[in-house]
Structure 1
């Protein structure tokens, strides 16, 4: 990596349904860099419908993209830790403004590719990638073509969501295929830690059959070796035990 590392924790509420993920974002950021930037104040977690969260968290979502933008303008390698995946609606905008040809590697147990018409849960965090890809209008400009998104570890798709993934150009591949598919390209990594098996790391929306920590660490190291990684965002780290901080830090450092 030829750019200085810049680590920011976004602590304000986006669509948080538990209080732990924002605090986990702070803990991880400080583990990666004791001088990490801490942005925003902890919000009150609650279960709300997507439209309420979209309205109430508008400022926090804009802040997410603004933080990535600022890190890129400063010539740094951006690392953003935050509570959930909703932030991709603005962070991907910042990335593609600077690197129009960038690919997104989406590591997550979930596709987050629902729309207001397909979502069974009403959870904004389960709809954000589809908004980023222009599948529905969340009030932010679409930021990336679906064909430039590569999913891996995704193993929980709702019925309507699966149709959208299959028909809009997003690819969902095995972890062993990722580095080869992205070799030689600029890649921004979105890492939702529920891509790990819940036996390895507990998560809010646990889905069995996930990656082992060794498997995820290996995948990220291969991506670093074969691609030009241009930034990283990490979500869904519930307020952790100290051993879990060390585990997740070791995984993240594989791509840094």
Structure 2
């Protein structure tokens, strides 16, 4: 997805396109590039929802098209906001799905709890029906179907919501494969799960995984779970494309 949702990085689409093309080349498929880049903006979620409505709906539509054709969607986008539409679609097509949220941030704020007003920090909560993003009558994802790992920067109100809504939080990546063994899993991967010394992030949080650690996690997951598809977000630096493509390749090589 080259169109802007709510990213706050200049020329973010360049990284998205580079990663899409690199993974497509490695697996001998065509990269399907959707939308056109737009200038970076820093604005509240209401404005991003209005201006990016078409992009967000198209993201959900692309995932829906793939699932309806019995294909595994691999969606690459600059920002996590696409989850507002993609994850409810996955839940509709696979009611028994587990969504694995690999991210430094929970993105579980609501209009009542957000301090920044940033849509990217509210998208999982919207997908789970905690607030209405106004993007159509799509069934929400059950929060108890979400498993998180890699969270390092979670605000107080988010922690309360995660706990009270039944989101599972796994703190040790090595436990994921056994926890999800045999289950149908859709993966949301924000590359800020990596340490910021490896890949720059607009919202850096120290203490993340190495690229080798991420590849190991994803390899073990691919061997144990039934991967239905994935979305990869947060890659903005084309110069690092080979390193990142190697780290995330186990999600694609199925």
TM-score range, shorter chain: over 0.9
Residue among 19, 22, 29 paired with 1:31: 22
Q: Give the structure 1 partner of residue 147 of structure 2.
A: 150
**Structure with greater strand percent:** 1
Displacement of 1:186 in angstroms is: 0.2
CA distance in 2, matches of 1:159, 1:45: 28
CA distance in 1, matches of 2:12, 2:194: 15
Q: Give the structure 1 partner of residue 189 of structure 2.
A: 191
Q: Give the structure 2 partner of residue 92 of structure 1.
A: 87
Q: Give the structure 2 partner of residue 3 of structure 1.
A: none
**CA contact under 8 A between 1:15 and 1:125: conserved in structure 2?**
yes
CA distance in 2, matches of 1:21, 1:175: 28
TM-score by length of 1: 0.93
Instruction: Kindly report which structure 2 residues correspond to 1:192-207, keeping only aligned pairs within 5 A, or say none.
Output: 192-207=190-205
Displacement of 1:142 in angstroms is: 4.5
Instruction: Kindly report which structure 2 residues correspond to 1:155-234, keeping only aligned pairs within 5 A, or say none.
Output: 155-173=152-170, 174-234=172-232
Displacement of 1:182 in angstroms is: 0.9
Displacement of 1:19 in angstroms is: 2.3
Runs of 4+ more than 3 Å apart: none
Q: Give the structure 2 partner of residue 83 of structure 1.
A: 78
Q: Give the structure 2 partner of residue 114 of structure 1.
A: 109
Aligned residues: 245
Residue among 46, 55, 66 paired with 1:51: 46
**CA contact under 8 A between 1:89 and 1:143: conserved in structure 2?**
no
**CA contact under 8 A between 1:22 and 1:239: conserved in structure 2?**
no
TM-score by length of 2: 0.93
CA distance in 2, matches of 1:132, 1:77: 20
State the secondary structure of the residue aligned to 2:238: coil
1:60 maps to 2:58: no
Which ranges in structure 2 are unaligned for 5 or more consecutive residues?
A: none
Displacement of 1:73 in angstroms is: 2.2
